[in-house]
């Protein structure tokens, strides 16, 4: 059943359409990187930096949902689940943590994950674009499959520290939460939801990290990895 559907989804979309999508993605992250650098150079501090790039970030981070679609259609050779998890966690961070909880927008951890995301995405998009053009410089391939070793853990640290900093504000304000009694007979505590979200990094992060390590061995060292098939 699953094999059938996946086989059909491996349609070869015209490369033109894909290139046209890739270029804006690459462009946005470059714009973001330059906006961040310019802010820091001009103001000499990271305070207020998030506010200045917030709208742009929200806009094209949501745009990244298309990524998942691309993987599902087999246009890009990355697993749907891996990309899906990453995109979902980023959207959650941007919309439900940094956007909603103003008090933590000037934390250093926010700058940390923003820098990491920017560097990761610029490397990744460069890789895809050059790959499609069949003209991939080795250093971009090297960057894509080596930088993550440092960037992934740093990014995770930034995200987790941000959520941790946000917890007291969430507790105090009771935001996004619903208590009993109510006519729907349900309750929701955003505070514990965030804690569960943080704990979910424990099983998920190693899986994503080792997935990238396997990709790295395959691409850089030409090792043949026999994947477990279902």
Which are the catalytic amino acids? 152, 159
Nearest-CA neighbor of 194 among 163, 155, 156?
A: 163
Shortest Cβ distance from residue 180 to other proteins (Å)? 4
Shortest Cβ distance from residue 181 to other proteins (Å)? 4
Nearest-CA neighbor of 201 among 170, 155, 135?
A: 155
Among 4, 182, 224, 225, the residue binding other proteins under the rule CB under 8 A is 182
Nearest-CA neighbor of 61 among 36, 21, 25, 115?
A: 25
The nearer residue to other proteins, 16 or 229, going by C-beta atoms, is: 229
Q: Which of residues 184-203 bind other proteins (CB under 8 A)?
A: 184-187
The nearer residue to other proteins, 11 or 180, going by C-beta atoms, is: 180
Shortest Cβ distance from residue 185 to other proteins (Å)? 4
Tell me the C-alpha distance between 56 and 50, whole Å.
Answer: 10
Query: Quick check: 138 binds other proteins (CB under 8 A)?
Result: no
Give the number of other Cβ atoms within 10 Å of residue 3's Cβ.
Answer: 9
The b-or-e profile of 123-154 (16+ CB within 10 A means b, else e) is: bbbbbbbebeeeebeeebbebbbeebeebbee
Query: Quick check: 181 binds other proteins (CB under 8 A)?
Result: yes
Query: Quick check: 183 binds other proteins (CB under 8 A)?
Result: yes
The nearer residue to other proteins, 134 or 230, going by C-beta atoms, is: 230
User: Total number of residues binding other proteins (CB under 8 A)?
Assistant: 8
Beta bridge partners of 178: 188
Query: Which range touches other proteins (CB under 8 A), out of 36-44, 70-78, 120-128, 183-191?
Result: 183-191
Q: Which of residues 61-80 bind other proteins (CB under 8 A)?
A: none
The nearer residue to other proteins, 44 or 181, going by C-beta atoms, is: 181
Give the number of other Cβ atoms within 10 Å of residue 42's Cβ.
Answer: 8
Q: Are 136 and 70 in contact (CB under 8 A)?
A: no
The nearer residue to other proteins, 45 or 200, going by C-beta atoms, is: 200
Which residue in the block uniquely carries the two structure tokens 């270029």? 23
Query: Quick check: 228 binds other proteins (CB under 8 A)?
Result: no
| Binding interface with other proteins (CB under 8 A) | 180-187
């Amino acid at each position: 059943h699953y094999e059938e559907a996946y086989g059909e989804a491996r349609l070869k979309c015209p490369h033109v359409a894909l290139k046209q999508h890739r270029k804006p993605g690459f462009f946005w992250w470059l714009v973001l990187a330059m906006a961040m650098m310019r802010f820091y150079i001009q103001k000499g501090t990271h305070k207020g930096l998030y506010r200045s790039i917030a709208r742009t970030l929200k806009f094209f981070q949501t745009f990244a949902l298309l990524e998942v679609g691309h993987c599902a259609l087999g246009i890009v050779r990355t697993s749907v689940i891996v990309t899906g998890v990453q995109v979902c966690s980023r959207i959650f961070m941007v919309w439900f943590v940094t956007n909603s909880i103003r008090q933590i927008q000037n934390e250093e951890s926010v700058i940390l994950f923003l820098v990491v995301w920017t560097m990761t995405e610029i490397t990744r998009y460069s890789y895809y674009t050059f790959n499609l053009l069949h003209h991939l410089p080795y250093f971009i391939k090297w960057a894509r499959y080596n930088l993550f070793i440092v960037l992934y853990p740093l990014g995770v640290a930034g995200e987790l520290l941000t959520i941790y900093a946000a917890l007291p504000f969430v507790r105090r304000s009771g935001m996004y939460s619903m208590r009993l009694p109510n006519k729907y007979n349900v309750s929701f505590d955003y505070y514990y939801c965030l804690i569960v979200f943080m704990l979910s990094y424990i099983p998920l992060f190693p899986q994503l990290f080792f997935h990238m390590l396997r990709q790295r061995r395959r691409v850089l060292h030409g090792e043949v990895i026999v994947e477990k098939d279902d």
